């Protein structure tokens, strides 16, 4: 990465869309639309700032290892990233700001006709399908519920409908996906929103470029909340 360019890692979709207003508040306009362009490096109106498009789960890795200087990713992704590397928050990722975007919650859901409370009361061993194994493991361990975790990479809602699992741990926002698949939310594990992540060494080397962006994001988040 050129020391003269700040690289921001975003994922396509809601994170890109919801970060755009914050970038605008920092005076940064992305000059290409990822919906129509196949480019993975997008220029901005600032010659010293560019955006790279990566998978949501890859944002922490890009920032930590220098493929990008800063990025935006969900708290869910960050917790799972930390867990994959031993548990504690990684020193390679500074997390200066909760952006309050891509808001949702991490929940346990089961088929409408599954008596979850009874299964838990009776000490049954639950089969739980999820992409978020660290969050699920920690949650059920804290409740003393025995689980067999089944790692999936998407379409978690399908697992209980096909007999693969008794329950899922997944993100819920409107609840429409659960409803469409006749699942009900039985536990709310945590609220989720997206965070700004920055590589500490990038902040050291490029502080004069990166700090004003963080400050503008902070001000935009504050103004939106006011």
Ligand X SMILES: Nc1ncnc2c1ncn2[C@@H]1O[C@H](COP(=O)(O)OP(=O)(O)OP(=O)(O)O)[C@@H](O)[C@H]1O
Residues in the site for ligand PRP, rule: CB under 6 A? 154, 170-177
Q: Which is nearer to ligand X, 70 or 102 (CB)?
A: 102
Using CB distances below 5 to 8 A depending on partner kind, what does residue 56 bind out of ligand X, ligand PRP, none? Answer: ligand X
Q: Which is nearer to ligand X, 158 or 203 (CB)?
A: 158
C-alpha separations of 117 from 3, 113, 122, 124, 165 in Å: 55, 12, 9, 10, 16
Using CB distances below 5 to 8 A depending on partner kind, what does residue 102 bind out of ligand PRP, ligand X, none? Answer: ligand X
Please state, in angstroms and rounded to a whole number, the distance separating the CA atoms of residues 169 and 188: 9
- Residue of 37, 42, 81 whose CA lies nearest to 63: 81
Residues from 16 through 55 that contact ligand X (CB under 6 A): 55
Using the rule CB under 6 A, is 104 a contact of ligand X? Answer: yes
- Helix/strand/coil percent split, the chain, to 5: 35, 30, 35
Q: Which is nearer to ligand PRP, 129 or 198 (CB)?
A: 129
Please state, in angstroms and rounded to a whole number, the distance separating the CA atoms of residues 153 and 148: 16
Using the rule CB under 6 A, is 11 a contact of ligand X? Answer: yes
The footprint of ligand X (CB under 6 A) covers 11, 13-15, 55-57, 74, 76-77, 102-104, 171, 173, 192, 194
């Amino acid at each position: 990465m050129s020391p003269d360019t700040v690289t921001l890692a975003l994922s396509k979709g809601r994170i890109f869309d919801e970060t755009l207003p914050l970038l605008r508040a920092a005076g940064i306009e992305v000059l290409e639309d990822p919906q129509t362009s196949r480019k993975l490096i997008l220029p901005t109106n600032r010659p010293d700032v560019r955006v790279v498009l990566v998978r949501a789960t890859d944002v922490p890795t890009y920032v930590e290892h220098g493929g990008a200087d800063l990025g935006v990713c969900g708290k869910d992704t960050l917790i799972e990233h930390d867990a994959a590397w031993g548990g504690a928050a990684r020193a390679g990722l500074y997390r200066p700001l909760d952006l309050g975007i891509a808001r949702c919650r991490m929940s346990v859901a089961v088929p409408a006709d599954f008596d979850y409370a009874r299964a838990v009361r009776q000490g049954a061993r639950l089969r739980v399908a999820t992409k978020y194994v660290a969050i699920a493991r920690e949650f059920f361990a804290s409740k003393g519920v025995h689980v067999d975790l089944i790692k999936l990479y998407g379409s978690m809602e399908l697992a209980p409908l096909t007999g693969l699992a008794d329950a899922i741990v997944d993100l819920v926002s409107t609840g429409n996906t659960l409803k469409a698949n006749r699942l009900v939310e039985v536990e709310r594990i945590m609220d989720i929103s997206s965070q700004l992540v920055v590589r500490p060494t990038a902040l050291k080397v490029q502080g004069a470029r990166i700090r004003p962006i963080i400050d503008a994001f902070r001000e935009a988040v504050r103004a939106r909340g006011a």
